[in-house]
A and B are shown apart, each in its own frame.
Chain A
Amino acid sequence: MTCPSLAVSVHAGQAISRAADQRVNLTLADRPRQQGRDRLGNPVECTGSALRNLPVFAGDKEEGRRLDDLWQGLMQAIWLVVTLDADLVEISLRSLQVTLSALAFACLVAMPLAALLTVRRFRLRRSVIAVMNALMGLPPVVVGLVVYVLLSRSGPLGALGLLFTPWAMIIAQMIVIIPLIASISHQSLRDLWFEYHDLLISMNVTRWQKITTLLWDARRALLTAALAGFGRGIGEVGAIMIVGGNIDHATRVLTSAIALETGKGDFALALALGFILIALAIAVNLVIHWLGRTEREGRW
Protein backbone atom coordinates (compact mmCIF):
# COMPACT_ATOMS: atom_id res chain seq x y z
CA MET A 1 0.00 0.00 0.00
CA THR A 2 1.32 3.45 -0.80
CA CYS A 3 0.14 6.63 0.71
CA PRO A 4 -0.60 9.80 -1.21
CA SER A 5 2.15 12.25 -1.90
CA LEU A 6 3.18 13.48 1.48
CA ALA A 7 4.36 16.92 0.51
CA VAL A 8 1.03 17.77 -1.07
CA SER A 9 -1.02 16.51 1.83
CA VAL A 10 1.15 18.31 4.34
CA HIS A 11 0.66 21.63 2.65
CA ALA A 12 -3.02 21.05 2.11
CA GLY A 13 -3.36 20.17 5.77
CA GLN A 14 -1.59 23.31 6.81
CA ALA A 15 -3.75 25.43 4.63
CA ILE A 16 -6.80 23.94 6.25
CA SER A 17 -5.49 24.33 9.74
CA ARG A 18 -4.43 27.88 9.07
CA ALA A 19 -7.88 28.68 7.75
CA ALA A 20 -9.39 27.16 10.83
CA ASP A 21 -7.10 29.16 13.06
CA GLN A 22 -7.95 32.36 11.31
CA ARG A 23 -11.59 31.65 11.86
CA VAL A 24 -11.08 31.93 15.57
CA ASN A 25 -8.79 34.87 15.07
CA LEU A 26 -5.70 33.27 16.43
CA THR A 27 -3.24 32.79 13.63
CA LEU A 28 -0.38 30.53 14.16
CA ALA A 29 1.49 32.62 11.64
CA ASP A 30 2.49 34.91 14.47
CA ARG A 31 4.57 32.17 15.92
CA PRO A 32 8.19 31.69 14.87
CA ARG A 33 8.50 29.46 11.86
CA GLN A 34 10.81 26.55 11.87
CA GLN A 35 12.15 24.18 9.36
CA GLY A 36 10.94 20.69 9.85
CA ARG A 37 11.54 17.56 7.86
CA ASP A 38 9.08 15.07 6.65
CA ARG A 39 9.96 11.42 6.58
CA LEU A 40 11.58 11.72 3.18
CA GLY A 41 13.93 14.34 4.50
CA ASN A 42 12.34 17.15 2.51
CA PRO A 43 12.36 20.40 4.37
CA VAL A 44 8.84 21.25 5.39
CA GLU A 45 7.88 24.67 6.51
CA CYS A 46 5.65 24.45 9.46
CA THR A 47 4.29 26.42 12.35
CA GLY A 48 6.44 26.65 15.39
CA SER A 49 5.70 23.53 17.22
CA ALA A 50 8.64 21.62 18.49
CA LEU A 51 6.60 18.53 17.71
CA ARG A 52 7.58 19.05 14.07
CA ASN A 53 11.30 18.91 14.75
CA LEU A 54 11.47 15.23 15.23
CA PRO A 55 14.41 13.13 14.28
CA VAL A 56 13.69 10.59 11.60
CA PHE A 57 14.47 7.13 12.78
CA ALA A 58 15.85 4.33 10.71
CA GLY A 59 13.47 3.06 8.11
CA ASP A 60 13.08 6.14 5.95
CA LYS A 61 14.24 4.51 2.77
CA GLU A 62 10.90 3.16 1.75
CA GLU A 63 8.10 5.56 1.44
CA GLY A 64 4.57 4.97 2.51
CA ARG A 65 4.72 1.70 4.37
CA ARG A 66 2.10 1.75 7.10
CA LEU A 67 4.13 -0.67 9.15
CA ASP A 68 6.96 1.81 8.90
CA ASP A 69 4.60 4.51 10.15
CA LEU A 70 3.90 2.39 13.18
CA TRP A 71 7.60 1.94 13.83
CA GLN A 72 8.27 5.64 13.32
CA GLY A 73 5.34 6.46 15.54
CA LEU A 74 6.60 4.29 18.34
CA MET A 75 10.13 5.67 18.11
CA GLN A 76 8.89 9.24 17.94
CA ALA A 77 6.62 8.62 20.89
CA ILE A 78 9.57 7.39 22.90
CA TRP A 79 11.66 10.31 21.70
CA LEU A 80 8.97 12.82 22.63
CA VAL A 81 8.62 11.33 26.07
CA VAL A 82 12.33 10.94 26.71
CA THR A 83 13.07 14.54 25.69
CA LEU A 84 10.03 15.76 27.60
CA ASP A 85 8.96 17.74 24.57
CA ALA A 86 7.44 20.99 25.79
CA ASP A 87 4.49 20.94 23.39
CA LEU A 88 3.76 17.35 24.14
CA VAL A 89 3.78 18.01 27.86
CA GLU A 90 1.49 20.96 27.33
CA ILE A 91 -1.16 19.17 25.28
CA SER A 92 -0.96 16.07 27.47
CA LEU A 93 -1.52 18.12 30.60
CA ARG A 94 -4.38 19.93 28.90
CA SER A 95 -5.92 16.61 27.92
CA LEU A 96 -5.70 15.48 31.52
CA GLN A 97 -6.93 18.78 32.87
CA VAL A 98 -9.97 18.88 30.58
CA THR A 99 -10.94 15.25 31.02
CA LEU A 100 -10.31 15.05 34.77
CA SER A 101 -12.31 18.24 35.34
CA ALA A 102 -15.14 16.97 33.14
CA LEU A 103 -14.95 13.66 35.00
CA ALA A 104 -15.15 15.31 38.42
CA PHE A 105 -18.16 17.41 37.47
CA ALA A 106 -19.80 14.48 35.70
CA CYS A 107 -19.39 12.24 38.76
CA LEU A 108 -20.87 14.93 40.99
CA VAL A 109 -23.95 14.93 38.80
CA ALA A 110 -24.19 11.33 37.65
CA MET A 111 -23.60 9.43 40.88
CA PRO A 112 -26.15 11.16 43.11
CA LEU A 113 -28.57 10.99 40.18
CA ALA A 114 -27.98 7.25 39.91
CA ALA A 115 -28.48 6.86 43.67
CA LEU A 116 -31.68 8.87 43.58
CA LEU A 117 -32.98 6.75 40.71
CA THR A 118 -32.17 3.70 42.81
CA VAL A 119 -33.89 4.60 46.08
CA ARG A 120 -36.78 6.69 44.82
CA ARG A 121 -39.83 5.17 43.24
CA PHE A 122 -41.70 7.50 40.98
CA ARG A 123 -43.92 7.03 37.99
CA LEU A 124 -41.46 7.82 35.22
CA ARG A 125 -38.48 6.13 36.87
CA ARG A 126 -38.23 3.32 34.34
CA SER A 127 -38.49 5.75 31.46
CA VAL A 128 -35.79 7.98 32.92
CA ILE A 129 -33.48 4.98 33.31
CA ALA A 130 -34.20 3.82 29.76
CA VAL A 131 -33.44 7.29 28.39
CA MET A 132 -30.27 7.45 30.48
CA ASN A 133 -29.10 4.12 29.09
CA ALA A 134 -29.90 5.22 25.55
CA LEU A 135 -27.92 8.44 26.04
CA MET A 136 -24.78 6.37 26.63
CA GLY A 137 -24.62 6.15 22.86
CA LEU A 138 -24.93 9.89 22.42
CA PRO A 139 -22.74 10.91 19.44
CA PRO A 140 -20.08 13.32 20.76
CA VAL A 141 -20.19 15.30 17.53
CA VAL A 142 -23.82 16.12 18.13
CA VAL A 143 -23.11 17.07 21.74
CA GLY A 144 -20.33 19.31 20.44
CA LEU A 145 -22.66 20.96 17.94
CA VAL A 146 -25.34 21.62 20.54
CA VAL A 147 -22.84 23.02 23.04
CA TYR A 148 -21.32 25.10 20.21
CA VAL A 149 -24.70 26.62 19.40
CA LEU A 150 -25.43 27.29 23.05
CA LEU A 151 -22.06 28.90 23.72
CA SER A 152 -21.56 30.75 20.45
CA ARG A 153 -21.64 34.51 20.68
CA SER A 154 -25.26 34.81 19.56
CA GLY A 155 -26.35 31.76 21.54
CA PRO A 156 -28.14 31.81 24.88
CA LEU A 157 -24.92 31.37 26.85
CA GLY A 158 -22.77 33.41 24.47
CA ALA A 159 -22.26 36.19 26.99
CA LEU A 160 -20.10 33.87 29.08
CA GLY A 161 -17.50 33.85 26.32
CA LEU A 162 -16.67 30.21 26.88
CA LEU A 163 -16.51 29.02 23.29
CA PHE A 164 -13.01 27.92 22.20
CA THR A 165 -11.83 27.76 25.79
CA PRO A 166 -11.06 24.64 27.85
CA TRP A 167 -14.28 25.31 29.76
CA ALA A 168 -16.33 24.67 26.65
CA MET A 169 -14.47 21.39 26.21
CA ILE A 170 -15.10 20.45 29.82
CA ILE A 171 -18.82 21.15 29.45
CA ALA A 172 -19.07 19.13 26.24
CA GLN A 173 -17.14 16.18 27.64
CA MET A 174 -19.18 16.26 30.80
CA ILE A 175 -22.37 15.91 28.79
CA VAL A 176 -20.86 13.07 26.78
CA ILE A 177 -19.81 11.04 29.84
CA ILE A 178 -22.60 11.75 32.34
CA PRO A 179 -25.02 9.15 30.88
CA LEU A 180 -22.27 6.52 30.81
CA ILE A 181 -21.24 7.11 34.42
CA ALA A 182 -24.84 7.35 35.60
CA SER A 183 -25.80 4.10 33.86
CA ILE A 184 -22.90 2.05 35.15
CA SER A 185 -23.29 3.55 38.63
CA HIS A 186 -26.99 2.85 38.61
CA GLN A 187 -26.46 -0.81 37.81
CA SER A 188 -24.13 -1.40 40.73
CA LEU A 189 -26.14 0.77 43.11
CA ARG A 190 -29.27 -1.17 42.20
CA ASP A 191 -27.58 -4.46 43.06
CA LEU A 192 -26.40 -3.06 46.37
CA TRP A 193 -29.83 -1.59 47.09
CA PHE A 194 -31.38 -4.99 46.52
CA GLU A 195 -29.06 -6.32 49.21
CA TYR A 196 -29.48 -3.43 51.65
CA HIS A 197 -33.12 -2.53 51.10
CA ASP A 198 -34.75 -4.43 53.96
CA LEU A 199 -32.07 -3.53 56.49
CA LEU A 200 -32.11 0.19 55.73
CA ILE A 201 -35.91 0.33 55.72
CA SER A 202 -35.91 -1.54 59.02
CA MET A 203 -33.49 1.00 60.50
CA ASN A 204 -35.74 3.90 59.47
CA VAL A 205 -32.97 5.44 57.44
CA THR A 206 -33.83 8.74 55.74
CA ARG A 207 -33.66 9.03 51.98
CA TRP A 208 -30.54 11.14 52.20
CA GLN A 209 -28.88 8.54 54.44
CA LYS A 210 -29.86 5.79 52.00
CA ILE A 211 -28.18 7.68 49.18
CA THR A 212 -24.98 8.38 51.10
CA THR A 213 -24.82 4.81 52.39
CA LEU A 214 -25.19 3.35 48.90
CA LEU A 215 -22.67 5.74 47.37
CA TRP A 216 -20.13 5.02 50.08
CA ASP A 217 -20.50 1.26 50.14
CA ALA A 218 -20.50 0.98 46.35
CA ARG A 219 -17.44 3.18 46.03
CA ARG A 220 -15.36 0.53 44.33
CA ALA A 221 -17.95 -0.07 41.65
CA LEU A 222 -18.35 3.68 41.30
CA LEU A 223 -14.62 3.95 40.75
CA THR A 224 -15.00 1.59 37.83
CA ALA A 225 -17.81 3.76 36.48
CA ALA A 226 -15.59 6.81 36.81
CA LEU A 227 -12.75 5.05 35.00
CA ALA A 228 -15.09 4.13 32.16
CA GLY A 229 -16.09 7.79 31.99
CA PHE A 230 -12.45 8.81 31.98
CA GLY A 231 -11.72 6.39 29.16
CA ARG A 232 -14.50 7.77 27.05
CA GLY A 233 -13.54 11.36 27.83
CA ILE A 234 -9.80 11.17 27.24
CA GLY A 235 -10.25 9.48 23.86
CA GLU A 236 -13.08 11.71 22.72
CA VAL A 237 -12.41 14.09 19.84
CA GLY A 238 -15.71 14.93 18.13
CA ALA A 239 -17.15 17.23 20.76
CA ILE A 240 -14.02 18.98 22.00
CA MET A 241 -12.81 19.64 18.46
CA ILE A 242 -15.98 21.56 17.68
CA VAL A 243 -16.28 23.57 20.88
CA GLY A 244 -12.56 23.92 21.52
CA GLY A 245 -11.40 24.72 18.01
CA ASN A 246 -8.07 22.87 18.41
CA ILE A 247 -6.19 26.12 18.96
CA ASP A 248 -2.49 25.65 19.58
CA HIS A 249 -1.51 26.61 23.12
CA ALA A 250 -5.14 27.17 24.04
CA THR A 251 -7.42 24.25 23.36
CA ARG A 252 -5.26 21.69 21.62
CA VAL A 253 -5.34 18.33 23.33
CA LEU A 254 -3.92 14.93 22.42
CA THR A 255 -6.92 13.73 20.44
CA SER A 256 -7.38 16.91 18.46
CA ALA A 257 -3.64 17.03 17.77
CA ILE A 258 -3.86 13.48 16.45
CA ALA A 259 -6.72 14.49 14.18
CA LEU A 260 -4.72 17.47 12.94
CA GLU A 261 -1.53 15.51 12.26
CA THR A 262 -3.47 12.79 10.51
CA GLY A 263 -5.14 15.43 8.36
CA LYS A 264 -1.70 16.76 7.47
CA GLY A 265 -0.53 13.29 6.57
CA ASP A 266 2.00 13.01 9.37
CA PHE A 267 0.90 9.56 10.39
CA ALA A 268 3.99 8.85 12.41
CA LEU A 269 3.53 11.86 14.64
CA ALA A 270 -0.18 11.15 14.88
CA LEU A 271 0.63 7.60 15.93
CA ALA A 272 3.22 8.81 18.40
CA LEU A 273 0.61 11.01 20.03
CA GLY A 274 -1.78 8.05 19.92
CA PHE A 275 0.66 5.84 21.80
CA ILE A 276 1.14 8.55 24.37
CA LEU A 277 -2.63 8.92 24.72
CA ILE A 278 -2.99 5.21 25.37
CA ALA A 279 -0.10 5.21 27.83
CA LEU A 280 -1.62 8.16 29.65
CA ALA A 281 -5.02 6.49 29.88
CA ILE A 282 -3.46 3.32 31.26
CA ALA A 283 -1.33 5.28 33.71
CA VAL A 284 -4.31 7.19 35.07
CA ASN A 285 -6.25 3.94 35.45
CA LEU A 286 -3.39 2.37 37.36
CA VAL A 287 -2.96 5.37 39.61
CA ILE A 288 -6.66 5.54 40.45
CA HIS A 289 -6.82 1.81 41.07
CA TRP A 290 -3.77 2.04 43.26
CA LEU A 291 -5.30 4.91 45.22
CA GLY A 292 -8.45 2.85 45.68
CA ARG A 293 -6.45 -0.11 46.90
CA THR A 294 -4.59 1.78 49.59
CA GLU A 295 -7.59 1.49 51.90
CA ARG A 296 -7.07 -1.17 54.47
CA GLU A 297 -10.52 -2.66 54.25
CA GLY A 298 -9.78 -5.42 51.81
CA ARG A 299 -11.79 -6.48 48.80
CA TRP A 300 -15.56 -6.48 48.49
Chain B
Amino acid sequence: MVNQLFPLTVRGATTRHRGKTLVGPIDLDLDGQGTCVVLGPNGAGKTTLLRLLHGIARLNEGAITWACDQHAAQTSQAFVFQRPVMLRRSVLENLIYPLRIRGVSRSEARDRAERWAKRAGLGSMLDRPATFLSGGEQQKLALTRALIMDPQLVFLDEPSASLDGRATREIENILADTQKTGTRLILSTHDMGQARRLADQVIFMLGGRVHETGPAAPFFENPQTLEANAFLNGDIVE
Protein backbone atom coordinates (compact mmCIF):
# COMPACT_ATOMS: atom_id res chain seq x y z
CA MET B 1 0.00 0.00 0.00
CA VAL B 2 1.40 3.35 -1.02
CA ASN B 3 0.79 5.94 1.62
CA GLN B 4 -0.65 9.09 0.06
CA LEU B 5 -0.63 11.12 3.24
CA PHE B 6 3.09 11.68 3.62
CA PRO B 7 5.19 13.73 3.64
CA LEU B 8 3.44 15.79 6.27
CA THR B 9 4.50 19.38 6.71
CA VAL B 10 3.61 21.43 9.77
CA ARG B 11 4.50 25.12 9.90
CA GLY B 12 3.89 27.34 12.88
CA ALA B 13 0.83 25.33 13.98
CA THR B 14 -0.65 26.71 17.19
CA THR B 15 -3.67 25.79 19.32
CA ARG B 16 -5.04 28.22 21.85
CA HIS B 17 -7.76 27.91 24.41
CA ARG B 18 -9.17 31.15 25.82
CA GLY B 19 -6.07 33.03 24.77
CA LYS B 20 -3.69 30.56 26.40
CA THR B 21 -1.42 28.71 24.01
CA LEU B 22 -1.77 24.97 24.63
CA VAL B 23 0.58 23.83 21.92
CA GLY B 24 2.84 25.54 19.43
CA PRO B 25 4.13 27.04 17.37
CA ILE B 26 5.01 23.61 15.97
CA ASP B 27 7.26 22.99 12.98
CA LEU B 28 7.52 19.41 11.87
CA ASP B 29 8.33 17.33 8.82
CA LEU B 30 7.27 13.71 8.87
CA ASP B 31 8.34 11.38 6.14
CA GLY B 32 9.78 7.94 5.75
CA GLN B 33 8.37 4.72 7.06
CA GLY B 34 7.23 3.23 10.30
CA THR B 35 5.96 4.46 13.59
CA CYS B 36 6.38 7.86 15.11
CA VAL B 37 6.30 8.08 18.88
CA VAL B 38 5.47 11.32 20.69
CA LEU B 39 7.23 11.46 24.03
CA GLY B 40 7.13 13.94 26.86
CA PRO B 41 6.03 14.46 30.46
CA ASN B 42 2.40 14.95 31.45
CA GLY B 43 0.97 18.20 30.18
CA ALA B 44 3.67 18.56 27.53
CA GLY B 45 0.99 18.73 24.85
CA LYS B 46 1.19 15.23 23.35
CA THR B 47 -2.56 14.72 23.25
CA THR B 48 -3.15 18.19 21.88
CA LEU B 49 -0.51 17.69 19.17
CA LEU B 50 -2.15 14.45 18.01
CA ARG B 51 -5.59 16.06 18.00
CA LEU B 52 -4.22 19.02 16.12
CA LEU B 53 -2.67 16.83 13.44
CA HIS B 54 -5.85 14.77 13.18
CA GLY B 55 -7.90 17.91 12.77
CA ILE B 56 -10.08 17.64 15.88
CA ALA B 57 -8.34 20.44 17.78
CA ARG B 58 -8.61 23.96 16.47
CA LEU B 59 -5.71 25.19 14.41
CA ASN B 60 -5.53 28.83 15.42
CA GLU B 61 -2.41 29.65 13.48
CA GLY B 62 -0.07 28.05 11.00
CA ALA B 63 -0.61 25.27 8.51
CA ILE B 64 -0.75 21.47 8.47
CA THR B 65 -0.24 20.13 4.98
CA TRP B 66 -0.71 16.50 3.96
CA ALA B 67 0.50 15.18 0.62
CA CYS B 68 -3.07 14.66 -0.56
CA ASP B 69 -6.07 16.94 -0.40
CA GLN B 70 -7.76 17.78 2.87
CA HIS B 71 -10.81 15.55 2.46
CA ALA B 72 -8.84 12.47 1.44
CA ALA B 73 -6.48 13.09 4.34
CA GLN B 74 -9.31 13.33 6.85
CA THR B 75 -11.08 10.19 5.70
CA SER B 76 -7.95 8.04 5.66
CA GLN B 77 -7.03 8.66 9.30
CA ALA B 78 -8.34 7.19 12.51
CA PHE B 79 -7.86 8.16 16.14
CA VAL B 80 -7.76 5.92 19.20
CA PHE B 81 -8.43 7.96 22.31
CA GLN B 82 -6.64 7.54 25.61
CA ARG B 83 -9.93 6.73 27.30
CA PRO B 84 -11.63 4.50 24.74
CA VAL B 85 -14.97 5.84 23.55
CA MET B 86 -17.43 2.98 23.47
CA LEU B 87 -20.66 3.37 21.55
CA ARG B 88 -23.50 2.14 23.73
CA ARG B 89 -23.97 -0.86 21.51
CA SER B 90 -22.73 -4.40 21.31
CA VAL B 91 -19.13 -5.15 20.40
CA LEU B 92 -20.23 -6.24 16.94
CA GLU B 93 -22.25 -3.06 16.41
CA ASN B 94 -19.26 -0.97 17.50
CA LEU B 95 -17.23 -2.56 14.73
CA ILE B 96 -20.01 -2.30 12.16
CA TYR B 97 -20.63 1.38 12.88
CA PRO B 98 -17.71 2.99 11.01
CA LEU B 99 -18.36 0.76 8.00
CA ARG B 100 -22.03 1.67 7.88
CA ILE B 101 -21.12 5.35 8.19
CA ARG B 102 -19.15 4.97 4.96
CA GLY B 103 -22.00 3.22 3.23
CA VAL B 104 -20.83 -0.40 3.39
CA SER B 105 -23.81 -2.74 3.13
CA ARG B 106 -25.02 -4.27 6.36
CA SER B 107 -24.19 -7.85 5.47
CA GLU B 108 -20.70 -7.02 4.25
CA ALA B 109 -20.09 -4.83 7.30
CA ARG B 110 -21.11 -7.74 9.48
CA ASP B 111 -18.74 -10.13 7.74
CA ARG B 112 -15.84 -7.75 8.00
CA ALA B 113 -16.62 -6.93 11.62
CA GLU B 114 -16.69 -10.60 12.58
CA ARG B 115 -13.43 -11.27 10.78
CA TRP B 116 -11.67 -8.35 12.49
CA ALA B 117 -13.12 -9.22 15.88
CA LYS B 118 -11.80 -12.75 15.61
CA ARG B 119 -8.37 -11.49 14.62
CA ALA B 120 -8.29 -9.20 17.67
CA GLY B 121 -9.46 -11.93 20.03
CA LEU B 122 -12.87 -10.34 20.53
CA GLY B 123 -14.70 -13.13 18.72
CA SER B 124 -16.27 -14.60 21.85
CA MET B 125 -17.87 -11.35 23.03
CA LEU B 126 -19.54 -10.02 19.90
CA ASP B 127 -22.96 -9.66 21.48
CA ARG B 128 -21.80 -8.18 24.77
CA PRO B 129 -22.47 -4.48 25.40
CA ALA B 130 -19.18 -2.74 24.68
CA THR B 131 -19.34 -0.74 27.90
CA PHE B 132 -19.22 -3.98 29.88
CA LEU B 133 -15.80 -4.97 28.55
CA SER B 134 -12.66 -4.68 30.65
CA GLY B 135 -10.29 -1.79 30.07
CA GLY B 136 -7.97 -3.89 27.94
CA GLU B 137 -10.82 -5.31 25.87
CA GLN B 138 -12.25 -1.84 25.36
CA GLN B 139 -8.91 -0.53 24.15
CA LYS B 140 -8.59 -3.50 21.79
CA LEU B 141 -12.08 -2.86 20.49
CA ALA B 142 -11.36 0.83 19.98
CA LEU B 143 -8.18 -0.05 18.09
CA THR B 144 -9.94 -2.66 15.95
CA ARG B 145 -12.74 -0.20 15.22
CA ALA B 146 -10.11 2.27 14.05
CA LEU B 147 -8.32 -0.30 11.87
CA ILE B 148 -11.42 -1.77 10.26
CA MET B 149 -11.61 1.16 7.83
CA ASP B 150 -8.10 0.40 6.52
CA PRO B 151 -6.80 3.84 7.44
CA GLN B 152 -3.43 4.97 6.11
CA LEU B 153 -2.59 6.59 9.40
CA VAL B 154 -3.71 5.82 12.93
CA PHE B 155 -3.20 8.16 15.88
CA LEU B 156 -3.01 6.46 19.26
CA ASP B 157 -3.07 8.52 22.43
CA GLU B 158 -1.33 6.55 25.18
CA PRO B 159 -2.84 3.28 23.94
CA SER B 160 -1.79 1.29 26.99
CA ALA B 161 -1.81 3.95 29.68
CA SER B 162 -4.04 2.03 32.08
CA LEU B 163 -3.47 -1.52 30.89
CA ASP B 164 -1.54 -4.36 32.44
CA GLY B 165 1.37 -6.10 30.75
CA ARG B 166 -0.62 -8.75 28.92
CA ALA B 167 -3.16 -6.33 27.50
CA THR B 168 -0.32 -4.03 26.48
CA ARG B 169 1.40 -6.86 24.65
CA GLU B 170 -1.81 -7.77 22.81
CA ILE B 171 -2.23 -4.16 21.71
CA GLU B 172 1.37 -3.99 20.59
CA ASN B 173 1.01 -7.22 18.61
CA ILE B 174 -1.95 -5.75 16.76
CA LEU B 175 0.06 -2.59 16.14
CA ALA B 176 3.01 -4.60 14.79
CA ASP B 177 0.69 -6.41 12.36
CA THR B 178 -0.78 -3.09 11.33
CA GLN B 179 2.64 -1.62 10.60
CA LYS B 180 3.39 -4.50 8.25
CA THR B 181 0.42 -3.59 6.05
CA GLY B 182 1.95 -0.16 5.47
CA THR B 183 -0.33 1.76 7.82
CA ARG B 184 1.55 4.55 9.57
CA LEU B 185 1.18 5.00 13.32
CA ILE B 186 1.67 8.14 15.36
CA LEU B 187 1.33 7.34 19.02
CA SER B 188 1.99 9.14 22.25
CA THR B 189 3.21 7.33 25.31
CA HIS B 190 5.08 7.90 28.49
CA ASP B 191 5.97 4.23 28.71
CA MET B 192 9.65 4.24 27.72
CA GLY B 193 9.68 0.51 27.09
CA GLN B 194 6.84 0.84 24.63
CA ALA B 195 8.56 3.77 22.96
CA ARG B 196 11.74 1.76 22.46
CA ARG B 197 9.82 -1.24 21.15
CA LEU B 198 7.70 0.62 18.61
CA ALA B 199 9.45 3.81 17.61
CA ASP B 200 11.12 4.43 14.27
CA GLN B 201 10.96 8.14 14.79
CA VAL B 202 10.61 10.22 17.93
CA ILE B 203 9.06 13.59 18.69
CA PHE B 204 10.00 14.79 22.16
CA MET B 205 7.55 17.42 23.43
CA LEU B 206 8.05 19.85 26.28
CA GLY B 207 5.94 22.82 27.30
CA GLY B 208 3.75 22.63 24.22
CA ARG B 209 6.68 22.74 21.81
CA VAL B 210 8.57 20.11 19.87
CA HIS B 211 11.78 19.99 21.83
CA GLU B 212 13.68 17.42 19.86
CA THR B 213 12.83 15.18 16.93
CA GLY B 214 14.60 12.59 14.82
CA PRO B 215 15.08 8.88 14.16
CA ALA B 216 14.53 6.69 17.18
CA ALA B 217 17.84 4.87 17.52
CA PRO B 218 20.09 7.93 17.78
CA PHE B 219 17.56 9.67 20.04
CA PHE B 220 17.58 6.86 22.57
CA GLU B 221 21.37 6.42 22.28
CA ASN B 222 22.36 9.98 22.41
CA PRO B 223 19.69 12.65 22.91
CA GLN B 224 20.74 16.11 21.79
CA THR B 225 19.11 18.11 24.56
CA LEU B 226 19.58 18.07 28.31
CA GLU B 227 15.86 17.75 28.91
CA ALA B 228 15.50 14.75 26.64
CA ASN B 229 18.46 13.16 28.35
CA ALA B 230 16.93 13.77 31.76
CA PHE B 231 13.57 12.42 30.56
CA LEU B 232 15.20 9.24 29.24
CA ASN B 233 16.99 8.80 32.54
CA GLY B 234 13.67 8.96 34.34
CA ASP B 235 14.35 12.32 35.97
CA ILE B 236 11.54 14.79 36.46
CA VAL B 237 11.36 17.24 33.58
CA GLU B 238 9.25 20.38 33.79
User: Which residues of A line the B interface, CB within 8 A?
Assistant: 192, 195-196, 198-199, 201-205, 209, 213, 217-218, 296-300
B11 within 8 A of A: no
Nearest chain B CB to A223's CB is how many angstroms away?
Answer: 14
Contacts A/B (CB < 8 Å), 12 sampled? A198-B56, A198-B85, A199-B85, A201-B56, A202-B78, A203-B78, A209-B101, A213-B87, A217-B89, A297-B90, A297-B129, A298-B129
Instruction: Say whether B132 contacts A298, CB under 8 Å.
Output: yes
B110 interface residue (CB < 8 Å to A):
no
**B98 close to A (CB within 8 Å):** yes
Judging by beta carbons under 8 Å apart, are A198 and B89 in contact? no
Min CB–CB distance B70 → chain A (angstroms) = 11
Interface string of B99-134 (1 = CB under 8 A from A): 001000000000000000000000000011101100
* Complex A-B, nearest 10 residue pairs according to Cβ-Cβ distance, in ascending order: A199-B85, A202-B79, A217-B88, A300-B88, A298-B129, A201-B56, A204-B74, A204-B75, A202-B56, A203-B98
Closest to B54 in A: A202
Chain B residues with CB under 8 Å of A196's CB are 85, 87
- A205 to B131: give the CA distance in the assembly, Å: 21
| A217-B89, A296-B127 known; A198-B81 Cβ under 8 A | yes
- Looking at the assembled complex, report how far the CB atom of A80 sits from the nearest CB atom of chain B, in whole angstroms: 43
B74 and A300: CB pair below 8 A? no
CA distance A297 to B88 in the complex (A): 10
- B35 to chain A minimum Cβ distance, whole angstroms, is 19
Complex Cα distance, B98 from A205, in Å, reads 9
Residues of chain B lying within 8 A (CB to CB) of residue A203: 78, 98, 101
What is the bound-complex CA distance between A203 and B99, given in angstroms? Answer: 10
Chain B nearest CB, measured from A19 CB (Å): 56
- Is the pair A195, B98 in contact by a Cβ cutoff of 8 Å? no
Chain A residues near B54: list those with CB within 8 A. Answer: 202
B90 A195 Cβ-Cβ under 8 A: no
Residues of A within 8 A of B90 (CB): 297
B47 CB to nearest A CB, Å:
11
The residue among B79, B88, B97, B131 with the most chain A CB atoms within 10 A of its own CB is B88
Q: In the complex, which residue of chain A has the Cβ closest to the Cβ of B100? A: A209
A299 to B131, CA, bound (A): 10
Q: How far, in whole Å, are A104 and B201 apart by their CA atoms in the complex?
A: 57
Neighbouring B residues of A202 by C-beta, 8 Å: 54, 56, 78-79
A300–B94 Cα gap in the complex (Å)? 14
CA distance A195 to B131 in the complex (A): 12
A297 touching B101 in the complex, CB below 8 Å, given contacts A198-B81, A201-B56, A202-B56 = no
A213: min CB distance to chain B, Å: 8
* Distance (whole angstroms) from the CB of B104 to the closest CB of chain A: 13
Decide: B87 and A205 in contact? CB cutoff 8 A: no
Residues of B within 8 A of A192 (CB): 88
Complex CA–CA separation, A192 to B85 (angstroms): 11
**A197 smallest CB distance to B (angstroms):** 9
Nearest residue (CB) in A for B87 is: A217
What is the 8 Å Cβ interface bit string for chain B, positions 52-89, against chain A (1 contact, 0 not)? Answer: 00101000000000000000001100110100010111
- From B81, B127, B131, B132, give the contact of A199 (CB < 8 A): B81
In the complex, which residues of chain A have a beta carbon less than 8 angstroms from the beta carbon of B81?
Answer: 198-199
Contact mask for chain B residues 37-57; partner A; CB cutoff 8 A; 1 contact, 0 none: 000000000000000001010
Q: Which residues of A contact B87 (CB under 8 A)?
A: 196, 199, 213, 217
Specify which chain A residues have a CB less than 8 angstroms from the CB of B127 in the assembled complex: 296
Instruction: Tell me, rounded to whole Å, the shortest Cβ–Cβ distance linking B15 to chain A.
Output: 15
Q: With A and B bound together, what is the CA distance between A296 and B90 in angstroms?
A: 10
Collect the chain A residues with CB atoms within 8 Å of residue B129's CB: 297-300
B79 to chain A, nearest CB (A): 4
From A218, which residue of chain B is reached at the shortest CB distance? B88
| Complex alpha-carbon distance, A299 and B81, angstroms | 24
The residue in chain B whose Cβ has the minimal distance to the Cβ of A196 is B85
Residues of B within 8 A of A218 (CB): 88
Chain B residue numbers with a CB within 8 Å of A201 are 56
- Max chain B CB contacts within 10 Å: which of A196, A204, A209, A299? A204
Q: How far is the CA of A217 from the CA of B131 in the complex (A)?
A: 12
Find the B residue at minimum CB distance from A216: B89
Please name all residues of chain A whose beta carbon is closer than 8 Å to the beta carbon of B74 when the two chains form the complex. Answer: 204
**Cα A205 to Cα B103 with chains together (Å):** 11
Q: Which residues of A contact B88 (CB under 8 A)?
A: 192, 217-218, 300
A203 CA / B78 CA spacing, docked (Å): 7
Residue of A nearest to B93 (CB): A297
Chain A nearest CB: distance from B199 CB in Å? 23
User: Which chain B positions have C-beta within 8 A of A199?
Assistant: 79, 81, 85, 87
Chain B residue, CB-CB nearest to A205: B101
Q: Are B85 and A297 in contact (CB under 8 A)?
A: no
State in angstroms the CA–CA spacing of A248 and B56 once bound together: 61
State the Cβ distance, B50 to closest chain A Cβ, in Å. Answer: 11
Tell me the nearest residue of chain A to B98, going by C-beta. A203
